[in-house]
Copies of this chain bind each other. A is one copy, B any other.
Amino acid sequence: MLSGAEVTGVLRSKGFKATPQRLAIYDALSHTTAHPNADMLYRELVPHYPTMSLATVYKTLDILCTVGLAQELNVGEESFRYDANVESHPHVRCLSCGRVDDVPVLNDTSLLSQAAVSTGYEITGRQIYLYGICPACSEKRKKKLH
């Protein structure tokens, strides 16, 4: 999680202006673990930034991904989600409530090299998505059964 000054520096170094909207969007994204999509971020920010527009959120998320301050997730939903943690790490989505959580790093170091050999691709990135039932939903189901 970078400070406002650091984010400003990264944006400017890549030729982008550091606007209040962009800083606010990065700030919101870096302070949540909910892996929000554009609309979730918009609704969280509007109360504090009444003139914020959804289009600006989309444009900013695009820029944040471009400059390496965020990554885009595709958890199998209609919309993209975003994560300010740009390290490659697996994500897990609850098929019951839809929440998305991080999965601590797993030792999949050999994955890329194995895939490169078997497919002939130059592998440059990866995304691992797991699906299941989160502890809270699991608990709810058990209670229902009693």
Contacts and interface: CB of A to CB of B under 8 A. Distances in A.
A133 B95 CA distance: 32
A103 interface: yes
Interface string A70-94: 0010111000000000000010101
Nearest to A120: B135
Interface centre among A72, A106, A116 (most CB of B within 10 A): A106
Oligomeric state, in copies: 2
- Determine chain A's interface SS by DSSP, over half rule: mixed
A86 to B, nearest CB: 14
A5 interface: no
Interface in A39-92: 72, 74-76, 90, 92
Contacts of A104: 118-119
Nearest to A123: B132
A34 B72 CA distance: 24
Pairs A-B, 4 closest by C-beta atoms: A120-B135, A123-B132, A125-B131, A121-B132
